[in-house]
């Protein structure tokens, strides 16, 4: 696919006229998808999709078009040329764009993933054999993901990876279930069986009579997966320069004259080096290994797209146009994983949060639900599963004044998001022990 | 392309229990003006097909954007392979389900085609609108945008089914943000809710021009407003919040695939069970909810769903009693219950699942003025801003952009950060007034997320203004 993309782009370069420049961004995948319900298959199939986004620039005018590629060089070549003509026809009707910025220094890169994925038939056999006798519901996605960039200045970048992600739940009854995932590059049956065993052990705990707690403030442990739900919400609009400058970031009070702060143990980075996403973006800029967003609880820097860099007269750090982080890394703390229950003592052990949203964005107050295996803990012992509870709490409490400790280990979480395409977002997060976490319903 | 696919499909269709080809071609264009600067103009031309094969009980699909005969042959081979792999391992014997083999055609109504107005004129319209928003230094961000989509679909089956459908959508929006000190507030054009099928005539239908000024004024009012009070009171929801209330606490719980457990690993389950249909008191007797594909300008109107089932109006709740679930051909068979034509996919590269389409609350008899005049104490809320609900679709908390107190039968003080929470199973039983046709608005959203692999799809929700008793409302920090 890399050769195919480069051939398309090389051909297109010959069709430019005058001072025209183009930027070309490719994303494609070949994915097997299997959907399970009650340890049976509900849907299964394969999706092959390849898209190219072409941006034509002439001076300060530009327009962008995206195409689904067929895989046939002659057809796609013609369609790319037609797209180029269509974009060219738009430019006279567009004003100069004062915020246009693209990379003019050529920086090639290539990261080729090795395909070590299991045969999909073997995966199906292994999964179904292992989960028989349980109410297993889940989703398996597997295959290659390809990203490329090229411009008419000669820059070429390519990134490929071959991953699988099995995301599942074992259900006991109604909404009582254990959620887990096994993701990676190479299937290891021992690891898979171990993950399944851990899930089933938690499922046993869920069979105890469930408890309902009254609304109020509780000491809680938020697992890395639960924290990931909060950071997934924050990622949408909190860390970009545009959101911060236009006061729409949920964290904009961290930049106020009298800034709000998080706990001094909170250091958050966009850790591109440790992630699985490409290091290049749509305008051809290369991302730095790390961008420190929050350091020791204080705002440090933003993710800055080329467009925001022009608008606010700063230097871009290679963020894409959404200015969303895709490889978040929250530094580990000092509290040992094996001490979670004893440190929690009496309170709520939360494995998963669900459906978070803002109840007061300016105050970064977030509401959401507990979901899957959430337990009531007394004197360091799991006593009972908890019926779902709604929380409504500000981040300045959760990771600020009410944060007691972060675990000394991080968990690597690979996003299971498949909207439009398989996500290559990931995160490295510890767990958090939090006091006075407010449940409301 | 339609003719080529028809010819090729019927030439190579395999001898299996069921085989379909679903082709989707979509052209979209995004225009936006932010802070008086034209944003990068973006177009997208997407096209591809999905082959579905059912054979000997198994099921498989293959999606590709290679539309050649070779691409078709490969897709059929891959779909057959998956159907073989899944034999004797599926949740149901798919070969026992009689899939529709219908023929027909559907086209959106459109009187002002997108292409008939020049790019320059459309951008001028957006510049003019955006310029209305900057009325004060505290207006820190403002944007006006248009998103146009044309979608052509072809659906073919191995027993002669042949359905073609063409849809045109226009999704206009305006967002104005005001900020001062530690406070930020925003107003939008129904949070994108005024999206409809059609062309540029939609802008006249929704009175688009001039809205930016009013939204800017309101965002400034919100900056100075006190927080919404915390109390149990009467709640009045305007149509652009009813949209969300219907969607989350009626639409999703009634999706048959959720009730059957398919979504439990992602979107969630439902507090509704199969034995509730026909007898469960979902809401007060004022509540009438329809699955209604007949409003041609509503976002999710269509002639057939993506498995070829003809779309018809169905009452899902009538006089408060739960009547029918939202489930297509496969779910209906699995659950042994009647449903609706709502098996839909968001594009060629995702398989159909049970979705909402248009799910509407039917209008009642009360005028807006009469409803407000009957309320001694309450809060009026408008335009969704925040949504969160549990995985059984029961415990919810929603927030709005705009709130106003109701005191002694009149709308009075503006309040910021209006939120409310409740439980679906009891909330709708406290429906005490339903607005008449004058308060009824055709709204929708292009972003309903569900399914594995994930799909974001268009849904429509028309509703009148409604009044609910005994609701917990509250404000921000």
On the CB side of A51, CA atoms within 13 Å amount to 16
Q: Do A83 and B62 touch (CB under 8 A)?
A: no
Instruction: Tell which of A22, A28, A42, A439 to mutate to test the B interface (max B CBs under 10 Å).
Output: A42
Q: Do A365 and B477 touch (CB under 8 A)?
A: yes
Q: Give the span between the Cα atoms of B334 and B256, in whole angstroms.
A: 10
Contact assessment for residue B397 and residue A390, using Cβ atoms and an 8 Å cutoff: yes
Does residue B187 have a pLDDT over 90?
Answer: yes
- Minimal Cα–Cα distance from A334 to chain B, Å? 31
Q: Which one of A42, A62, A367 has the shortest CB-CB distance to B40?
A: A62
* CB count in 10 Å sphere of residue B449: 13
CA angle B226, A392, A346 (to 5 degrees): 140
Which pair of tokens denotes residue A386? 């908890």
**Which chain A residues are within 8 Å of B387, Cβ to Cβ?**
355, 357
Decide if B123 touches A, using CB distance below 8 A: yes
Q: Give the span between the Cα atoms of B243 and B460, in whole angstroms.
A: 8
Q: Do B42 and A64 touch (CB under 8 A)?
A: yes
Q: Tell how far CA A109 is from the center of its chain.
A: 23
| pLDDT tens digits, B314-335 | 999 999 999 999 999 999 999 9
CB pairs below 8 Å between A and B: how many? 246
Interface of A with B in 84-113 (CB under 8 A): 86, 90, 93-95, 97-99
Q: Are strands A268-271 and A390-394 parallel, antiparallel or unpaired?
A: unpaired
* Confidence bin at A104 (pLDDT 50/70/90): very high
Decide if A139 touches B, using CB distance below 8 A: yes
* Confidence bin at B379 (pLDDT 50/70/90): very high
| pLDDT tens digits, A112-134 | 999 999 999 999 999 999 999 99
- Minimal Cα–Cα distance from B419 to chain A, Å? 7
- Minimal Cα–Cα distance from A188 to chain B, Å? 22
Instruction: Tell which of B397, B399, B472 to mutate to test the A interface (max A CBs under 10 Å).
Output: B397
Does residue A213 have a pLDDT over 90?
Answer: yes
Domain ranges in chain B are 2-224, 231-474
State the ipTM, two decimals: 0.96
Instruction: Tell which of A4, A37, A43 to mutate to test the B interface (max B CBs under 10 Å).
Output: A43
- In the prediction, which pLDDT does B163 show? 98
Average pLDDT over residues B94-120: 97
Decide if B90 touches A, using CB distance below 8 A: yes
Interface of B with A in 404-433 (CB under 8 A): 417, 419, 421, 423
Q: Which one of B50, B177, B419 has the shortest CB-CB distance to A247?
A: B177
**Which chain B residues are within 8 Å of A394, Cβ to Cβ?**
477
**Which chain B residues are within 8 Å of A67, Cβ to Cβ?**
44-46
Q: Give the span between the Cα atoms of A60 and A40, in whole angstroms.
A: 56
Q: Tell how far CA B105 is from the center of its chain.
A: 22
Decide if A3 touches B, using CB distance below 8 A: no
Average pLDDT over residues A177-200: 96
- In the prediction, which pLDDT does B1 show? 87
- Minimal Cα–Cα distance from A243 to chain B, Å? 10
* Confidence bin at A399 (pLDDT 50/70/90): very high
Instruction: Tell which of B31, B44, B65, B125 to mutate to test the A interface (max A CBs under 10 Å).
Output: B65
Does residue B294 have a pLDDT over 90?
Answer: no
Average pLDDT over residues B362-384: 98
Residue of chain B with shortest Cα separation from A60: B40
* CB count in 10 Å sphere of residue A4: 18
Where in the sequence of chain A do the CATH 3.30.2290.10 domains occur? 2-200
- In the prediction, which pLDDT does A357 show? 97
Closest alpha carbon to B173 in B157, B186, B156, B158: B186
| pLDDT tens digits, B3-23 | 999 999 999 999 999 999 999
Closest alpha carbon to B326 in B341, B312, B310, B307: B341
Residue of chain A with shortest Cα separation from B390: A369
- State the angle between helix axes of A2-13 and A73-90 in degrees (0 to 180), rounded to the nearest 10: 50
Average pLDDT over residues B202-217: 98
**Which chain B residues are within 8 Å of A137, Cβ to Cβ?**
261-262, 264-265
Residue of chain B with shortest Cα separation from A169: B265
**Which chain B residues are within 8 Å of A357, Cβ to Cβ?**
386-388, 399
Query: What CATH number labels B2-224?
Result: 3.30.2290.10
What rounded mean pLDDT belongs to chain B? 97
- State the angle between helix axes of A120-131 and A189-206 in degrees (0 to 180), rounded to the nearest 10: 30
Q: Which one of B66, B91, B140 has the shortest CB-CB distance to A37?
A: B91
- Minimal Cα–Cα distance from B422 to chain A, Å? 8
Q: Do B388 and A98 touch (CB under 8 A)?
A: no
Q: Which one of A38, A139, A359 has the shortest CB-CB distance to B419?
A: A359
Interface of B with A in 128-157 (CB under 8 A): 140-141
**Which chain A residues are within 8 Å of B71, Cβ to Cβ?**
70-71
Q: Do A368 and B453 touch (CB under 8 A)?
A: no
On the CB side of B428, CA atoms within 13 Å amount to 28
* Confidence bin at B228 (pLDDT 50/70/90): very high
Identify the H or E element spanning B77: helix B69-85
Contact assessment for residue B468 and residue B179, using Cβ atoms and an 8 Å cutoff: no
**Which chain A residues are within 8 Å of B67, Cβ to Cβ?**
70
Alpha-carbon dihedral A27, A28, A32, A33, rounded to 10 degrees: 40
Nearest 5°: phi and psi at A256?
Answer: -70, 170
Q: Which one of B42, B62, B184 has the shortest CB-CB distance to A362?
A: B184
What rounded mean pLDDT belongs to chain A? 97
Query: Which residues, 6+ apart, have CB-to-CB distance to A422 below 8 Å?
Result: A29, A31, A141, A143, A145, A163, A165, B453
* Confidence bin at B53 (pLDDT 50/70/90): very high
Average pLDDT over residues A312-337: 97
Does residue B454 have a pLDDT over 90?
Answer: yes
**Which chain B residues are within 8 Å of A177, Cβ to Cβ?**
264
Decide if A211 touches B, using CB distance below 8 A: no
Q: Do A174 and B269 touch (CB under 8 A)?
A: yes
Average pLDDT over residues B289-299: 93
Q: Which one of A120, A137, A252 has the shortest CB-CB distance to B261?
A: A137
Q: Which one of A33, A71, A367 has the shortest CB-CB distance to B453?
A: A33
- State the angle between helix axes of B69-85 and A120-131 in degrees (0 to 180), rounded to the nearest 10: 30
Average pLDDT over residues A169-180: 94
| pLDDT tens digits, B401-414 | 999 999 999 999 99
| pLDDT tens digits, A217-271 | 999 999 999 999 999 999 999 999 999 999 999 999 999 999 999 999 999 999 9
Range in A205-209, B294-298, B433-437 the model is least confident about: B294-298
Average pLDDT over residues A36-59: 98
Decide if A204 touches B, using CB distance below 8 A: no
Tell whether domain A2-200 is in CATH 3.30.2290.10: yes
Closest alpha carbon to B312 in B329, B294, B336: B294
Q: Do A253 and B43 touch (CB under 8 A)?
A: no
Nearest 5°: phi and psi at A171?
Answer: -100, 140
Closest alpha carbon to A111 in A293, A286, A254: A286
Decide if A267 touches B, using CB distance below 8 A: no
* Confidence bin at A430 (pLDDT 50/70/90): very high
Q: Give the span between the Cα atoms of A80 and A11, in whole angstroms.
A: 9
Which pair of tokens denotes residue A97? 């764009």
Report cis status (omega within 30 of 0) of the bond before B453. yes
Q: Which one of A68, A139, A368 has the shortest CB-CB distance to B388?
A: A368
Alpha-carbon dihedral B460, B464, B465, B467, rounded to 10 degrees: -100
- Minimal Cα–Cα distance from A208 to chain B, Å? 20
Which pair of tokens denotes residue A127? 């999964």
Average pLDDT over residues A402-406: 98
Q: Are strands B139-157 and B183-188 parallel, antiparallel or unpaired?
A: unpaired
Does residue B293 have a pLDDT over 90?
Answer: no
Q: Do A441 and B395 touch (CB under 8 A)?
A: yes
Q: Which one of A95, A138, A359 has the shortest CB-CB distance to B38?
A: A95
- In the prediction, which pLDDT does B17 show? 98
Does residue B110 have a pLDDT over 90?
Answer: yes
């Amino acid at each position: 696919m890399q050769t195919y993309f480069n051939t398309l782009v090389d051909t297109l370069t010959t069709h430019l006229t005058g001072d025209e420049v183009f930027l070309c961004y490719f994303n494609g995948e070949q994915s097997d998808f299997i959907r399970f319900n009650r340890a049976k298959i509900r849907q299964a199939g394969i999706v092959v999709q390849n898209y190219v986004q072409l941006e034509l620039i002439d001076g300060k005018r530009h327009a962008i078009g995206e195409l689904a590629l067929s895989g046939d060089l002659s057809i796609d070549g013609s369609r790319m040329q037609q797209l180029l003509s269509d974009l060219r026809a738009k430019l006279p009707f567009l004003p100069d764009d004062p915020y246009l910025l693209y990379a003019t220094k050529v920086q090639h890169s290539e990261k080729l993933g090795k395909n070590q994925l299991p045969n999909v038939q073997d995966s199906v056999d292994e999964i179904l054999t292992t989960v028989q006798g349980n109410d297993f519901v889940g989703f398996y996605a597997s295959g290659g993901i390809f990203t490329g960039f090229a411009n008419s200045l000669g820059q070429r970048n390519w990134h490929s990876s071959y991953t699988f992600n099995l995301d599942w739940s074992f259900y006991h009854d109604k909404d009582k279930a254990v959620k887990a995932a096994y993701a990676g590059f190479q299937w290891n049956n021992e690891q898979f069986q171990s993950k399944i065993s851990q899930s089933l052990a938690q499922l046993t705990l869920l069979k105890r009579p469930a408890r309902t707690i009254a609304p109020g403030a509780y000491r809680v442990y938020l697992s890395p997966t639960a924290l990931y739900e909060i950071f997934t919400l924050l990622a949408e609009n909190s860390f970009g320069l545009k959101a911060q400058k236009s006061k729409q970031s949920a964290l904009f009070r961290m930049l106020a004259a009298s800034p709000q702060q998080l706990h001094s143990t909170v250091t958050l980075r966009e850790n591109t080096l440790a992630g699985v996403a490409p290091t290049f973006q749509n305008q051809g800029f290369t991302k730095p290994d790390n961008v420190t967003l929050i350091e020791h609880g204080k705002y440090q820097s933003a993710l800055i797209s080329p467009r925001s860099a022009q608008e606010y007269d700063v230097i871009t750090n290679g963020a894409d146009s959404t200015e969303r982080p895709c490889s978040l890394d929250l530094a580990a703390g000092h509290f040992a994983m094996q001490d979670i229950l004893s440190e929690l003592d009496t309170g709520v052990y939360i494995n998963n949060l669900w459906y978070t949203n803002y109840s007061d964005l300016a105050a970064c107050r977030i509401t959401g639900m507990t979901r899957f295996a959430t337990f009531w803990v007394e004197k360091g012992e799991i006593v009972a599963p908890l019926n779902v509870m709604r929380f409504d709490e500000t981040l300045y409490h959760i990771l600020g004044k009410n944060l007691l400790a972060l675990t000394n280990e991080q968990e690597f979480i690979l996003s299971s998001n498949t909207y439009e395409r398989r996500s290559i977002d990931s995160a490295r997060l510890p767990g958090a022990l939090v006091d006075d976490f407010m449940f409301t319903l | 392309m339609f003719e080529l696919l028809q010819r090729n499909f019927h030439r190579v269709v395999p001898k299996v229990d069921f085989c379909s080809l679903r082709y989707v071609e979509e052209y979209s264009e995004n225009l936006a003006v932010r802070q008086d600067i034209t944003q990068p103009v973006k177009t997208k031309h997407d096209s591809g097909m999905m082959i579905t094969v059912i054979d000997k009980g198994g099921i498989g699909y293959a999606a590709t954007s290679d539309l050649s005969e070779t691409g078709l042959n490969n897709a059929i081979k891959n779909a057959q392979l998956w159907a073989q792999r899944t034999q004797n391992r599926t949740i149901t014997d798919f070969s026992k389900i009689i899939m529709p083999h219908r023929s027909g055609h559907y086209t959106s109504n459109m009187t002002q085609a997108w292409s008939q107005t020049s790019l320059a004129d459309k951008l001028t319209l957006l510049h003019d609108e955006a310029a209305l928003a900057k009325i004060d230094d505290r207006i820190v961000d403002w944007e006006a945008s248009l998103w146009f989509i044309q979608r052509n679909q072809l659906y073919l089956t191995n027993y002669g089914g042949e359905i073609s459908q063409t849809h045109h959508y226009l999704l206009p929006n305006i967002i104005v943000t005001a900020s001062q000190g530690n406070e930020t507030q925003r107003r939008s054009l129904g949070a994108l809710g005024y999206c409809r099928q059609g062309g540029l005539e939609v802008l006249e239908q929704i009175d688009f021009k001039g809205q930016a000024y009013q939204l800017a004024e309101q965002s400034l009012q919100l900056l100075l407003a006190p927080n919404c009070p915390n109390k149990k009171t009467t709640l009045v929801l305007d149509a652009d919040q009813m949209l969300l209330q219907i969607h989350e606490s009626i639409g999703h719980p009634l999706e048959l695939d959720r009730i059957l457990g398919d979504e439990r690993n992602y979107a969630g389950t439902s507090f509704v069970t199969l034995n509730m249909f026909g007898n469960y008191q979902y809401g007060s007797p004022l509540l009438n909810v329809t699955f209604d594909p007949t409003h041609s300008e509503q976002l999710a109107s269509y002639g057939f769903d993506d498995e070829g089932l003809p779309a018809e109006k169905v009452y899902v709740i009538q006089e408060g009693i739960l009547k029918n679930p939202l489930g297509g051909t496969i779910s209906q068979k699995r659950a042994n219950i009647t449903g609706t034509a709502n098996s839909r996919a968001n594009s060629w590269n995702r398989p159909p699942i049970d979705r909402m389409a248009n799910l509407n609350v039917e209008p009642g008899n009360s005028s807006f003025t009469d409803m407000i005049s009957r309320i001694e104490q309450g809060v009026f809320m408008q335009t969704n801003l925040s949504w969160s609900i549990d995985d059984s679709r029961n415990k919810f908390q929603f927030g709005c952009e705009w709130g106003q107190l109701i005191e002694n039968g009149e709308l009075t003080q503006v309040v910021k950060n209006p939120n409310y929470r409740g439980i679906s199973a009891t909330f709708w039983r406290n429906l005490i007034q339903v607005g008449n046709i004058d308060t009824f608005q055709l709204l929708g959203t292009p972003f309903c997320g569900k399914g594995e692999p994930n799909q974001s799809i268009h849904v429509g929700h028309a509703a009148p203004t409604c009044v609910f008793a005994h609701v917990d409302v509250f404000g921000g920090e």
